[in-house]
Amino acid sequence: MTEQLHAQQQEPQQEPQQEIEQPEDFTIQPETDALLVVDMQPDFMPGGPLAVAEGDQIVSPIAALMQRFSLVVATQDWHPAQHISFASQHGRSPFDAIPLYGSTQTLWPDHCIAGTSGAALHPGIPQDRIGILVRKGTYRDIDSYSAFRENTGPDGQRRTTGLSAMLSARGVRRVFVCGLARDFCVGWSALDAQAEGLLAIVLDDLTRAVYPERRAETDALFAQGNVLHRPSSLLKGGAL
């Protein structure tokens, strides 16, 4: 994770943003706040091929929190069967790392193959509350952790998913990020949100990590990228 997030931080996509004043409270603003629910899919739950420990424990509280936001964005990993991030495509073991496009690629078990039950949103996530759905990792030769941009491709660039433009069009200025996993897709999404000029807050109790023992490293990268991380209990209001 550290290598991945460091690589992201070293590849700025735009001119540095003017620092945004941190909020004094966490009252949900229906016109300018969004909840970003990252990769709540069965393949990342206990029993799945890329299980995140205790990932199933955050389904119900995230589902409840979704009721309090006017705009909910959800992401899904949505990979082709021969995706470049799969260890099976390289004759390597899952969680090995290889150099790829000038960065480091973690190799994963086959997971979230487009159209399979493991790639669906968890049935406990209320899909009627989702206003924007982002499917990522759809290019065979590029991995994708962030809701905002693909990982670095063969051209050395990180392609946009279009989410930043959609949020801008809706007047969103702040995103609360939850889901799986804190040290990969949640972290990348929060850092990219901040880089895109949004204020990003990771809801710590509504995430779980692939490598929870490396929490301090992730927290340091959040601090470097001006990403806040707080418990969801600090959120106020927002009931529809």
Known catalytic residues? Answer: 39, 136, 185
Phi, psi of 5 (to 5 degrees): -70, -35
Q: Which two tokens stand for residue 174?
A: 């702040």
Q: How many CB atoms lie within 10 A of CB 127?
A: 12
Residue 170's identity, in one-letter code, is R
> What span, in angstroms and rounded, lies between the C-alpha atoms of 164 and 36?
12
> Is the separation of the CB atoms in 189 and 37 below 8 Å?
no
How many CA atoms does the CB half-sphere of 178 hold within 13 Å?
26
Beta strand 97-100 pairing with 103-106: antiparallel
Q: Which two tokens stand for residue 124?
A: 């406990």
> What span, in angstroms and rounded, lies between the C-alpha atoms of 73 and 192?
15
